[in-house]
Amino acid sequence: MYRGAGANGSLGRMRRRITGYHRDEEHHCVAELDCGHNQHVRHNPPWVSRPWVTTEEGRAGMLGTELDCRKCDRGEAADRGAPDARPPVPGGERR
């Protein structure tokens, strides 16, 4: 995987606040950030240690906390907040 040239720290990182949560189709916890992006917040030890995501109290306590938003770093479009982006097609799915 590509990594930056020794950049170790917050340089170039977008810090975004957690405004809420939801579950994805696989019941993983997804944090909703104030930039409009979603970010998975798994507790998957030993690789990812986020014991706070496993409890409602923990998640509530992390509201307002800032996470690095890699989607902002990459300039990706927001995951939500654009209701006109994909209007529903009357009469079913079409390509």
Residues in CB range of 65: below 8 A, 6 or more apart: 17, 18
Site residues for Zn ion, 4-63, by CB under 5 A, read: 35, 37
Total number of residues that touch Zn ion (CB under 5 A): 5
In the complex, least distance from residue 71 CB atom to Zn ion, rounded to whole angstroms: 5
Radius of gyration of the chain (CA): 16
What's the one-letter identity of residue 59? R
What's the one-letter identity of residue 44? N
50 vs 67, which CB is nearer to Zn ion? 67
Q: What is the binding site for Zn ion (CB under 5 A)?
A: 35, 37, 69, 71-72
